[in-house]
Structure 1
Amino acid sequence: MSLDPVRFNPLHGNPLIGRDDVERALLALFEPLLPFFSEGRARVRLDAAGAHFDRAAADLEGFARPLWGLAPHFAGGGTMPHWPLFAAGLANGVDPDHPDYWGQPRDRDQRLVELAALGFALRLAPEKLWDPLTGRQRDRLARYLLDARERAYAPNNWKFFRVMVDAALDRLGLAYDRSLTEAYLAELDGFHIAGGWYRDGDFRRVDHYIPFAMHFYGLIHARFAGAGDPYAERFRERARSFAKDFRSWFDEDGGALAFGRSMTYRFACGGFWAALAFAEEEALPWGEIKGLWLRHLRWWADKPIAHPNGVLSVGYGYPQLTMSESYNSAGSPYWALKAFLPLALPADHPFWRADETPLAPGPDPLPLAAPGMVMTRHPGTVVALSSGQENLQMRSGPEKYAKFAYASRYGFSVEVDERGFERNAFDNTLALSEDGLHYRVRETNETALIAGHALRAVWKPWPGVRVETTLLPAGRWHVRLHRIRSDRPLRSAEGGFAIARGDDGDGETTVEAVGRAAAITPGDLAAIVDLGSTVSRGGRAQKALPNTGLLAAKTTVPQLRGSIPAGETLLACAVLASGDGAAGRDALDRPPALPSLADLDALFRADGVAVGAVEAPGDHL
């Protein structure tokens, strides 16, 4: 028997080329859930791990999220024999006298999230979910939805969930207070920054929730509401603009930039391309949209992302609870089925008839002012240099939002030891320590600017310590400059990219020397080289703690470590990661030169503009 856990992945072995392949993929992802439906069919409990919300809401999550894919499948003419499970579950889940009752929705309740999937599914598949119910069951379901939509929703993409419920109420002919929907649409409209980029609420962050939530629901609303709706064309226009930027977050193999929270939703990252198809919005040529979408699905087909029973795991490239959010239950990963929206289109739609085309060339580097990123493209990966954003509310916020660089091929690491200054990965991070045990990294910025292809941010890990970080691309490398002013001595550790390492180390080498460190494997090379810091730093090839990397359970991170005196210090380095061995070795011998700080200062004085995500309104500034 093969020991390779990739075989547990329901997508494994599927070529994912045509519509039939995609239909088979959807049903293969759903079928492992069947043994876990409760006797009353309203709850799906996949394991004993908990989230911050109650178990009934988690069980509803397991029930509802597959409908993001199954409802479009039905709408496009697909068949499956398990719709009676969902009709029975709907009837029992809203019945207070039934053991499977989901509980009454409250303000900011997880149930409000999952009812968006039910609203969407009722809109697309009432024949399977509404028509089989008795009159009394329909009345209960209607009251449940009408009561839920009057609750207060979280001040972010959640406001779209009321809009999704109302789409069902429209289809079912049920009256409701439309002013509540109008109020939320107006608030959602106010989250727009520029050029199709939104904030996910009044927070200093921009992440995958913009494509797989804000645009995803906006495009669904645009299709359901039609041209007469005042927001429909606005959502379409913004999606057209956003598509030109968001394509830069995908590499030529289909991998998406790993950045921000909720990465356990995996191929939901391709949900934006799916939503463009669903809304019949040709923001890019259909062949390019189809290619971006299908390559992304294929990218996931060879990853060990499922348990032996075929149920998707919490994690990213493998089962990994350390990267999860407090709101991730075992059913959370099935938000990934948002990627199956195109199945709602008929087989003769231009999207399906189009030949898949490669990613068209675009500007490289590409500055993105709203998220504060400079995107660069390299063989097998895209890299985002990042000004740094803020998430102080959730676990591992600094790792998910405030590193200096993120990549599709290498993901990022989450630290698991708050006293681990000597052990932690610190990939694409500068960690500072007073005692050699505890440490601080960038968590938020005081200012963040973008000028041309350069980024500059000021951050303060402690009172009395100020760091100004400047980032700029340099061919296969990128350059980092940190001007530090400290009122006390500190220790420093700065990491490059985290690359996968094998169990036995065969064919793997490391370099540890004054001013440089590298890790070289048969598949990848990662390096960090000092460019003339005012203090000496020693190189270390750090074997990161297991199960901290998003894509590989074991990684090596090249680091530079040293001491910083009180006063002013310049740390300067160049960082490289390459999946092309020959090119990587060639680049390793030719690091870039130290750029002129005077020239960079002049650039930011003349052309520096504030990063949009950092300019969020509200009390988070």
Structure 2
Amino acid sequence: MEPKTGLVLGYNGVHPFSKVKITDRGSVQELLRTLLDPLEPFFSPLKSRVKCPGATAVRFDQSASEVEGICRPLWGLACLLAGNGEYHGTKWWVQGLKAGTDPESPEYWGYPRDNDQRMVEMCPLGFALAVAPVFWQNLNEKERGNVEAWLGNSVNEKNMPNTNWLWFRVFANLGLKKNGGKFSQGRLDSDIKHLDTFYRGDGWSNDGPEGIHQMDYYSSSFAIHFLQLLYAKLAGDEEPERAKEFKKRAQMAALDLVHYYDNEGRSIPFGRSVGYRFAMVSFWGALAYAGVELPAPLTWGMVKGIVLRHLRWWQTQPDIWSPSGTLTIGYSYPNMYMAENYNSPGSPYWACLAFICLAVPPEHHFWTSEEELPGDSIPKVKALKHPGHIMSYLGDHCMLLSSGQACSYPMKGTHAKYGAFAYSSAYGYSVPPGLFTLEQYALASQLGLSDDGGEFWKTRRKSEYARLETRDDKPVLVSIWKPFPDVTVKTILVPPEESTPNWHLRIHKIEAGREVMTADGSFAICNERAVDGRYLDPYDADKGEGTYPKIIGNYDLNTPEGWATGKQGAFAVSKGAVGIKALEDSGNEGERNAMLVNADPNSNLVESRTVIPTLQHTVKAGGVAWYVSAIYAKPSGKGIARGSYLDGWEKVPEVPWWAREEKGAQI
């Protein structure tokens, strides 16, 4: 099918999404329509599939990829319709449902097999059936039987991954149940009972059974908490105690999750599937939809502000669109290096979860309240036991320190998505676009070790030990990990203090059974001059931009002016400033040196060209090294003058007294 002529973004094109002035419920409805409109040319003739631009393959079949394309936008459309909104293209999805579930149709979706991607797309379809009568009401008896067979009978007898996926089958059954269709109450009950075994306490659920430690946006906005709240709303009359429990969990989690969103509207990218973009805030709209009473000190003005500021921030990211106006695979720009093997061209439309707020009636406090900032209402530093995070609201961004999480299966860049030391709302994490030298490994907020002279690098992926502990009555994160069988690293992460809000500390003790090079990286920052986009020059105080020392390229690594002592440190200034200094006393065999790693392009989620201030050293075989790395970060933002980016650079935090005791302790 040849796409119809529609939106085409050229050199000066601005997506309609970025033109909407977000102020109220009506403007958010219009924002959603700007997402749905560009899909029209990519519907199949019978409307059962959407083939979004992009020919990239995924681990499942092409038909399932195109089923994603039609079902994922349903999250937004169903919420719009549930809130009495209108969309002129609703008929496309009604027609697509009929053709896709009809075994006699040339565009039949196909029955799912065990662990089939089609099971995921049953979730938005089940939700749409539950909240938007237009779908079921437009089906005749035979068509309803087709939907029952595809959405219920087929999936209830199949194996599913032991993860958040089980919620998708719950909603497939729930959608049929709400319309009087054939469903399995037994399967629905058994799935929810099993999903309860993922609960770990204090509001947090894990994305999997005991032995897996993976608590990311799937635990809150992408699946588990989000779907618990939708279930509480839709099934609460029949199961009031379960609904009460799900709401209670959400109240507890909200007091933790508020720390993941900064005043600029940015969320902290952490973990997998962050290509779902603004779905990161769907939890907050779901609180309102489910009728949750907010726990103090949170207010509906704060919740509304988190959601609307976040949507406005994405309006400032013009590179998230294809030339045809559809969402791309990536984060702030198209990026396959950070993509999971299940990210098809239609996959990013899971972002439509964010529009659950449109199902919230206009008289709800979510819509009638004035937007607020969390401000001084929440702790500036907070330890979160279950995800193994220490959150910081200091230094003009939200930041988390992390230890202990790891994906349970092979995933591209898993060490960067879960194993890095720090994640920031202002400076996204970096993934390796290749596996040769530091430039390709792009070790932002990671300690890398190499036993071959710097060609291949190992970082923290899994920890043998990872716990929240206290030092001097303050929270720290302690982990022990082995990049090589005979090399042991103990890392202690220390959050910022109010006196030095732009610094956090990493204390490493390395016992090396073989000789290893080490590279400790700060955050990655944009490597572009403001005036013309060329790479940064050496730092110029008058321009408030540049690096110290000089950036050295991949081919002149031994250039003397590209190195400084670890005590002097290295920094880069462009969109704010980041840097790193060595604070340890002498005692290691040789001092650490500071330099700038010119990371390979497209390694970072937020900026396509980045540089990473880094400390390097070599530990001899049989040696022990003790590092205290101070990492600086002061982002750009409203009211932050360019000339102030390095204001805190010379005022480093003191090395804690207890750290010297750690130096001599056994790992």
Query: Same fold by TM (over 0.5)?
Result: yes
- In the alignment, what sits opposite 2:143? 137
Q: How does 1:67-146 map to 2 (within 5 A)?
A: 67-126=74-133, 128-146=134-152
Structure 1 window deviating more from structure 2 (532-541 vs 154-163): it is 532-541
CA distance in 2, matches of 1:468, 1:153: 38
Q: Which runs of 5+ in 1 are unaligned?
A: 606-621
SS of residue matched to 1:587: coil
Q: 1:500 aligns with which of 526, 529, 532?
A: 526
Deviations along 1:130-164, whole A, 9 cap, x unmatched? Answer: 22222211111111112223322211111111111
> Is 1:479 aligned to 2:534, yes or no?
no
> Is 1:594 aligned to 2:655, yes or no?
yes
- In the alignment, what sits opposite 1:460? 482
- In the alignment, what sits opposite 1:568? 624
Higher relative contact order (CA 8 A, sep 6+): 1
> Is 1:29 aligned to 2:66, yes or no?
no
CA distance in 2, matches of 1:5, 1:574: 42
Q: Is the 8 Å Cα contact of residues 332 and 607 (structure 2) preserved in structure 1? A: yes
CA 548–231 in structure 1, closer or farther in 2 if over 3 Å, else same:
same
CA distance in 2, matches of 1:68, 1:5: 31
CA 5–426 in structure 1, closer or farther in 2 if over 3 Å, else same:
farther
CA distance in 1, matches of 2:313, 2:492: 33
> 1:32 corresponds to which letter in structure 2?
P
Deviations along 1:451-495, whole A, 9 cap, x unmatched? Answer: 242111000011111000011023320111111111111111110
SS of residue matched to 1:253: coil
Deviations along 1:10-45, whole A, 9 cap, x unmatched? Answer: 421222111111000000011000100000100100
Identity fraction in percent: 37
- In the alignment, what sits opposite 2:314? 300
CA distance in 2, matches of 1:150, 1:51: 25
CA 6–335 in structure 1, closer or farther in 2 if over 3 Å, else same:
farther
Structure 1 window deviating more from structure 2 (14-23 vs 417-426): it is 417-426
TM (norm. structure 1) is: 0.93
Q: Is the 8 Å Cα contact of residues 9 and 324 (structure 2) preserved in structure 1? A: no
Shift of 1:522: 4.2
CA 527–197 in structure 1, closer or farther in 2 if over 3 Å, else same:
same
Q: Is the 8 Å Cα contact of residues 9 and 323 (structure 2) preserved in structure 1? A: no
CA distance in 2, matches of 1:235, 1:540: 49
Shift of 1:5: 6.9
CA distance in 1, matches of 2:606, 2:334: 10
- In the alignment, what sits opposite 2:442? 425
> 2:456 corresponds to which letter in structure 1?
H
> Is 1:42 aligned to 2:74, yes or no?
no
- In the alignment, what sits opposite 1:327? 342
Q: Is the 8 Å Cα contact of residues 438 and 599 (structure 2) preserved in structure 1? A: no
- In the alignment, what sits opposite 1:585? 646
- In the alignment, what sits opposite 2:177? 170
> Is 1:347 aligned to 2:362, yes or no?
yes
> Is 1:511 aligned to 2:518, yes or no?
no
> 2:86 corresponds to which letter in structure 1?
T
CA RMSD across the alignment? 2.0
Residue-pair matches, total? 602
TM (norm. structure 2) is: 0.87
Shift of 1:59: 0.4
> Is 1:441 aligned to 2:452, yes or no?
no
CA distance in 2, matches of 1:315, 1:123: 31
Structure 1 window deviating more from structure 2 (389-398 vs 40-49): it is 389-398
CA 402–9 in structure 1, closer or farther in 2 if over 3 Å, else same:
farther
Structure 1 window deviating more from structure 2 (20-29 vs 373-382): it is 373-382
- In the alignment, what sits opposite 2:387? 371
Q: Is the 8 Å Cα contact of residues 388 and 403 (structure 1) preserved in structure 2? A: no
Shift of 1:295: 0.9
CA 544–422 in structure 1, closer or farther in 2 if over 3 Å, else same:
closer
- In the alignment, what sits opposite 2:229? 219
Q: Which runs of 5+ in 2 are unaligned?
A: 1-7, 538-542, 550-563
Structure 1 window deviating more from structure 2 (491-500 vs 512-521): it is 512-521
CA distance in 2, matches of 1:598, 1:397: 30
CA distance in 1, matches of 2:661, 2:84: 58
Deviations along 1:414-470, whole A, 9 cap, x unmatched? Answer: 012212246532111011001121111111000111124211100001111100001
> 1:458 corresponds to which letter in structure 2?
I
SS of residue matched to 2:349: helix
Shift of 1:204: 1.7
Structure 1 window deviating more from structure 2 (432-441 vs 506-515): it is 506-515
Shift of 1:355: 1.5
- In the alignment, what sits opposite 2:19? 13
Shift of 1:592: 1.6
- In the alignment, what sits opposite 1:619? none
- In the alignment, what sits opposite 1:270? 281
